[in-house]
Amino acid sequence: MSANGWFQIGLFLLVIFLITKPLGVFLARVFSGQRTFLDPVLRPIEKLIYRLTGINEKHEMRWTEYAIAMLLFSGVSMAVLYLIERTQKFFPLNPQKFANLEPGLAFGTAASFTTNTNWQAYSGESTMSYLTQMAGLAYHNFASAAVGIAVAVAVIRGIARKETDKLGNFWVDTTRCLLWVLLPICLVGSLVFVSQGVIQNLRPYTTVELIEPQTVQVTSADGKTTKQTVTQQIIAQGPVASQEVIKEFGTNGGGFFGANSAHPFENPTPFSNFFQVVLIFAIPSALTYTLGRMTGSQRHGWAVWAAMAVLFLAGITTAYWAEARGNPQLVGINQTQSMVQSGGNMEGKEVRFGIANSALFATVTTDASCGAINGQHDSFTPIGGMVPLINIMLGEVVFGGVGAGLYGIVVFVILAVFIAGLMVGRTPEYLGKKIESYDVKMAMLAILILTFTILGFSAFAIIKPFGTSSISNPGPHGLSQVLYAYVSSAGNNGSAFGGLSVNTMWYNTSTAVAQLLGRFFMIIPVLAIAGSLAKKRIVPESVGTFPVTGGLFAGLLVATIVIVGALTFFPALSLGPILEHLLMAAGKAF
């Protein structure tokens, strides 16, 4: 670890802290229908959308209608994406003449992008036409992010409002999020990326002549190796920057290319890398301020932020430490950090990012439900790779996905005040609302569905040949690979231990089901909680009220998250990464 590495990490957290308030205020204004400086341009477009689609912006929805509208939009847009993937060869903007996707992969990908997971069983540069990337995949980066934020806003309204059954209008929230929040930053941000070297064009792939032709060994399907001379390099092109920015800002994570943000055309410089991690945390962090502002308790918003920051720091410290130590089994190699090399475990990492920025990216992308990667998590050290795994297992509430992080943390807040209530023997309250059995049941339902999905699918896959045959790294790491696949799917993250061969019928289908369960069986209970809270009266604060502000509450919240996560997943972790770490230290390989 180096001072410069820590300086970058510290600066990152400072930048996130500084944008939390201004962006949080802006979000609150947008979703309260207040004027913003963008209104003169965007208001006419908003009205046009409402007229074309038949949305009545005055109409307010109960939680059930809100949920139904959300499900219908997700269902319809998912079907459209499936159709685009299945028919891409009949459309223009396909210079490489890619074929239509087969049904399993098309379904898996459609589920994955609709649920903001962006799990990828394909490599973009050899599968998807430019039209599919733009109108299918990048579009869902916008849509699924807006849906997540809309749900979070409905949940905040549920906490803030009293004695009503209305949570707002799903279509209006989604539209305003798309136009006011996502579009402006993406227009500016995509050009910032292009200025750094992220490509943005519609050209066919470029063929270049190698300076030095190479003789390579090629293994054919029947196992024969032949020597071939390679004289050319085919450089993939495409409209990358416009997708890159929403990939991060909407915590989607689906790369234009197979290598995702490790690819020089997606993430060419350390500056573009820094911009990416800031974009990932921007909205999730700001939403804590929006929560405080809309519920009238700014200190509660900051207490939640502080709990998240503590968990973030714990993750990055562990990951950075583990990766900087390197791999003890690589002998005769200089892995020491210095002014002229980053050292550490460089397998699967890029020189321009080094250890600090690879560990930071891995932590941030899994704290949030982003799933973009700038280094291969599969090649991380056991402990370094366990950090992303744990981050997702905790429910991605460390800032979390756009919207998803906020409604996820609300579930844990409800549990925390419930536990505090049990300890002092009073009815738990949350910002003046009594937390009753229905609310706690719904909160537990959300947590249990996530747990069952992850552990159920992993356990099943690990005893079946069609599950284990996809494993590429033998030993305890193989269990980590399978576990990561379902953790990432159910958590709607989308990053992977990429060695696992997931483009199979079993993995395409089972991960898609895990993604749909993890997305919608989280959102529905959470909206139910919001609907229930909105109906309640405000109980005046008394001396016996457990405060949801300050250090004590933040500490209790952190403890709740960690204990729930640890009790659920420690056995699985001890057989995967922890065992691998001990065996690696003992000099074992598989």
Q: Which of residues 183-212 bind other proteins (CB under 8 A)?
A: 183, 186-187, 190-191, 194-203, 205-212
| CA pair distance 470, 506, nearest whole angstrom | 10
Shortest Cβ 381–other proteins spacing (Å): 5
Shortest Cβ 397–other proteins spacing (Å): 27
Q: Return the residues of window 308-347 that contact other proteins according to CB under 8 A.
A: 326-327, 329-335, 338-347
Q: Return the residues of window 261-280 that contact other proteins according to CB under 8 A.
A: 262-265, 268-271, 273-274
| CA pair distance 245, 265, nearest whole angstrom | 13
**C-alpha pair distances (Å), 97 with each of 81, 176, 481:** 19, 37, 33
Residue 253 in contact with residue 247, Cβ under 8 Å? Answer: yes
Instruction: Give ∠ CA 576-577-578 in degrees, rounded to 5.
Output: 100
Which is nearer to other proteins, 177 or 417 (by Cβ)? 177
Shortest Cβ 46–other proteins spacing (Å): 11
Which is nearer to other proteins, 197 or 547 (by Cβ)? 197
> Which of 474, 540, 542, 543 forms a contact with other proteins (CB under 8 A)?
474
| CA pair distance 75, 452, nearest whole angstrom | 24
| CA pair distance 555, 147, nearest whole angstrom | 30
Q: Return the residues of window 478-507 that contact other proteins according to CB under 8 A.
A: 497-499
> Which of 117, 251, 374, 532 forms a contact with other proteins (CB under 8 A)?
374
Q: What residue type is assigned to position 182 of the chain?
A: L
Shortest Cβ 168–other proteins spacing (Å): 14
As a whole number of Å, the end-to-end CA separation of the chain is 28
Shortest Cβ 550–other proteins spacing (Å): 35
Q: Based on the shown chain and the rule CB under 8 A, indicate whether residue 350 belongs to the binding site for other proteins.
A: yes
- Using the contact rule CB under 8 A, the part of the chain among 379-387, 420-428, 460-468, 505-513 near other proteins is 379-387
Q: Based on the shown chain and the rule CB under 8 A, indicate whether residue 178 belongs to the binding site for other proteins.
A: yes
Q: Residues 6 or more apart from 139 whose CB is under 8 A from it?
A: 77, 81
Burial of 290 (0-12, 13-18, 19+ CB in 10 A): buried
Handedness of CA 354, 359, 361, 362 (dihedral sign): positive
Which is nearer to other proteins, 18 or 330 (by Cβ)? 330
Instruction: Give ∠ CA 335-340-345 in degrees, rounded to 5.
Output: 25
Q: Return the residues of window 18-77 that contact other proteins according to CB under 8 A.
A: 45, 49, 52-55, 65, 68-69, 72-73, 75-77
Which is nearer to other proteins, 32 or 200 (by Cβ)? 200
Shortest Cβ 379–other proteins spacing (Å): 6
Nearest to 361 by CA among 474, 473, 267: 267
Quick one: tokens of 272?
């573009």
Q: Based on the shown chain and the rule CB under 8 A, indicate whether residue 352 belongs to the binding site for other proteins.
A: yes
Q: Return the residues of window 423-452 that contact other proteins according to CB under 8 A.
A: none
Name residue, tokens 């056995």.
571
Which is nearer to other proteins, 335 or 509 (by Cβ)? 335
Handedness of CA 401, 402, 406, 408 (dihedral sign): negative
> Which of 9, 150, 185, 373 forms a contact with other proteins (CB under 8 A)?
373
Question: For other proteins, how many residues bind (rule: CB under 8 A)?
Answer: 135
| CA pair distance 248, 280, nearest whole angstrom | 5
Q: Based on the shown chain and the rule CB under 8 A, indicate whether residue 214 belongs to the binding site for other proteins.
A: yes
DSSP, collapsed to helix, strand or coil, labels residue 550 as helix
Which is nearer to other proteins, 41 or 72 (by Cβ)? 72
Q: Return the residues of window 111-140 that contact other proteins according to CB under 8 A.
A: 123, 125-126, 134-136, 138-139
Shortest Cβ 391–other proteins spacing (Å): 19
